[in-house]
A and B are shown apart, each in its own frame.
Chain A
Amino acid sequence: ESWRGWNIHPEDYPNGVALDAFADMVAERTEGRIEPEVYHNAVLGDQPDAIEQLRNGGLDFANFNMGPMGEIVPATNVLSLPFLFTDIDNMHEVMDGEIGDRFADALAEEGIIALSWFDSGARSFYNTDHPIATPADMEGLKFRVMNNDLYVQMVDELGGNATPMAYSEVYQSLRTGVIDGAENNWPSFDTSNHFEVAGYYSNTNHLILPECICISADTWEGVSDEDKEIVTQAALEAAEQQRELWAASSEESRQKVLDAGVEVNEVDDPAAFQDAMQPIYTKFIEANPDLESYIDDIRATQQD
């Protein structure tokens, strides 16, 4: 049986490499009973469309980011809350454990079977003007954010001017001052060439969004228990590989932009940023009381 898989990234990206590895492992270990084929570069559509395709029999598996997943699976909106995780290891700890299983259950209710969690790094602010060390440094700067109310609120609470904008417009807009900054992870900061025009990268690590290898529930139903075991194992191994490749590529990108003369700084007091997010959390919990336990449980992992 041949499986169609969706990937938004290029095939030589950590995700692309890991997905191809997943496909090879599955084909080999099931002795050709399942032959996954990955379509890279979003040639089959963007993520919201791909999610619908996966739930309706157009796709068998995919690598989804949890950011745009919130429209379909509201529980995953928790993961879009700014400054939720302290760092990437914290995110791994949460997602690989019992809390991650609860997210997986929520996804499964919408027909999306999450087998393992990929990394998409930590997103931080960068801009053309000065290092951001305290929330006050955000004052009056125009930041491009992704189209999501939570991200707009985040920038607004920090005193900046949130500007939703298509990703393709960002480079030119940074170059010419239409916007002052944006936010992303190291590899994207590098490959988008935004570092050529935005000389200050501040390690706020405000968003650490996990990604999944997800299988369509319809497809999953038709898989024998033996093969389910094989596919799950392959997904876990692929995630391990993806995380390693991702860490390596982040480091490589970090080195490259440092060499290019970008000024990188740590924030003085991460708590000041987290405190500024309080209104967002309060509003979020008011609107989604059933999701409060997720937040509390994630916070509990950060106590020591």
Chain B
Amino acid sequence: MGLAILFGLFALGLIVGMPVAFALGLATVGGFLYEGLPLFIGFQRILSGISVFSLLAIPFFIFAGELMMQGGIAARLVRLAASAVGFMRGGLGVVNVASSMLFGGISGSAVADTSALGSILVPVMKEKGYDADYAVNVTVTSSVAGVVIPPSHNMILYAVAAGGVSVSNLFIAGILPGILMCVILGIVAWAIAVRRGYPGEPFPGFRQLAISFVVAIPGLMTAIIIVGGVLSGVMTVTESGAFGAIWAMLVTTLVYRELSWEKFKLAVVAAVRTTALVMILVATASSFAYLLALYRVPDLLASSVTLISDNPIVILLLLNVILLLLGMIMDMAALILICTPIFLPVVKDLGMDPLQFGVILMMNLGLGLCTPPVGACLFVGCVVGGIRIDQAVRTILPFYAAIIVALLLVTYVPFFSMYLPNLMD
């Protein structure tokens, strides 16, 4: 009964259009009142939920991403990608995917990826005769790389929710799946471009390629500092995040000289806003999770899943379908926080490593960012491309298929997510 009240109130809050964080909070209040527990505990959980050391890296990654966007790093990464792979048929489509891979290595956010790269690339693509729907589809789906390729603040959320999963190992685990996904997306983008007869760009020559590369180096250094700092272990994840943000600030003001005071303020405001939206979710979700633990929901689910089937392949497929459906209607951060404590024990029982599940979760929910009815990346992409959501979605299926193929490979072939982490040990 308590559980019904908890989930019922939550669902009701969502249906009437309350902010997800407030709906979680309200449902928790209802749960506490029903159980006769002192309400202050719920609010204590809200506060402790965000007083967590690992979460400190989140504002840093978000801020670094905003600085990259405002300060011209993103534009230089695109130019590098264009010099390198722009000559292929449908070159700009492939450039788009490659830029996402580079940008994904610095920004932890798919939405930042869509708006930063989309606002640079989509207008250019339209001008060169690419259809708007194609430009938007490529931009939106390849932005999922931002979540899977490290660093990624969503991975930090997962590590915290999973309790005791190492963030740096998780980062390492995301590298190959992120690349795999981009390669498959690149192939799809290329194939569609060929069929639609989009041209390639003339190859600018190795000299120009070298110049683009040199110009992009200070920007790429941000990635090397953040990811390299974590992987080499010179710094902790949090320290690397702070250092990356400081570096991005220095490069964009001193080297690229594009970060004016106005743009700096824009970056700060955007970073505060995103940080607050994510962290408020973390806060109320941890209060919600207190009641889930009290009702022993993870145990209940783990035992009922095994009733449905004891075939790991079937269970994993089922989990993927559930996550995909949830991802379609809800935002990523909230789902990570709610689903991790519930589903992780199930996959652990199947012998899956929490790292692999983390990557699977990122890809599933990342895909959800690109789907209607709720898809932050899709929304941003359509705004940037000046088309309606239904126009974009009509031709997006092959791109979804590319991500799903990558997802299935990562689900059933542990190699992709586990090879690098095992190598590190």
Contacts and interface: CB of A to CB of B under 8 A. Distances in A.
Interface of A: 4, 39, 41, 43-46, 48-49, 52-53, 56-58, 165-166, 168-169, 171-173, 175-178
B38 A178 contact: no
Given A45-B290, A56-B38, 5 more contacts: A45-B45, A56-B40, A57-B37, A168-B164, A175-B233
Interface string B231-249: 0111111100000000000
4 tightest A-B contacts by CB? A176-B233, A166-B53, A43-B293, A58-B41
B280 to A, nearest CB: 19
Given A173-B236, A176-B233, A57 B38 contact: yes
B275 interface: no
B293 A178 contact: no
A44 B164 contact: no
Interface in B212-254: 232-238
Contacts of B293: 39, 43-44
B173 to A, nearest CB: 15
A173 B232 CA distance: 11
B235 to A, nearest CB: 7
B395 interface: no
A58 B294 CA distance: 11
A228 B166 CA distance: 44
B166 A45 contact: no
B168 interface: yes
A169 B44 contact: no
B54 interface: yes
Contacts of A175: 233
Contact of A58 (B37, B163, B236): B37
A38 B330 CA distance: 34
Contacts of B37: 57-58
A231 B369 CA distance: 53
A297 B325 CA distance: 65
Contacts of B48: 45-46, 48-49
Contacts of A172: 166, 168, 233, 236
B370 to A, nearest CB: 32
Interface of B: 37-38, 40-41, 44-45, 48, 53-54, 163-164, 166, 168, 232-238, 290, 293-294
A168 to B, nearest CB: 6
6 contacts: A46-B48, A48-B48, A53-B41, A56-B38, A173-B236, A178-B234
A169 B40 CA distance: 30
B41 A56 contact: yes
A178 B168 CA distance: 14
A178 B44 contact: no
Contact of B44 (A45, A57, A165, A177): A45
Contacts of B53: 166, 168-169
Contacts of A58: 37-38, 41
B294 A178 contact: no
Contacts of B40: 52, 56
A169 B236 contact: yes
Given A46-B48, A49-B48, A168 B54 contact: yes
A166 B54 contact: yes
A52 B236 contact: no
A46 B41 CA distance: 12
Contacts of B238: 169
A51 B232 CA distance: 39
Given A39-B293, A44-B290, A44-B294, A178 B236 contact: yes
A2 to B, nearest CB: 12
Contact of B232 (A48, A53, A176): A176
A169 B156 CA distance: 13
Contacts of A48: 48
Nearest to B166: A172
Contacts of B234: 176-178
A51 to B, nearest CB: 11
B44 A52 contact: yes
Nearest to B169: A172
A228 B41 CA distance: 27
Contact of B235 (A41, A46, A171, A178): A178
Contacts of A4: 294
A165 B232 CA distance: 19
Contacts of A168: 53-54, 164, 166
A58 B53 CA distance: 25
Contacts of A39: 293-294
Contacts of A165: 236
Nearest to B232: A176
Nearest to B290: A44
Interface-central residue, A39, A48, A169, A178, by most chain B CB under 10 Å:
A169
A57 B39 CA distance: 10
A86 to B, nearest CB: 34
Contacts of B237: 169
A99 B40 CA distance: 34
B353 to A, nearest CB: 16
A44 B54 CA distance: 19
A266 B37 CA distance: 50
B228 to A, nearest CB: 12
A43 B121 CA distance: 46
Contacts of B235: 178
Nearest to B52: A166
Contact of B233 (A56, A57, A178): A178
B47 to A, nearest CB: 9
Contacts of A169: 53, 236-238
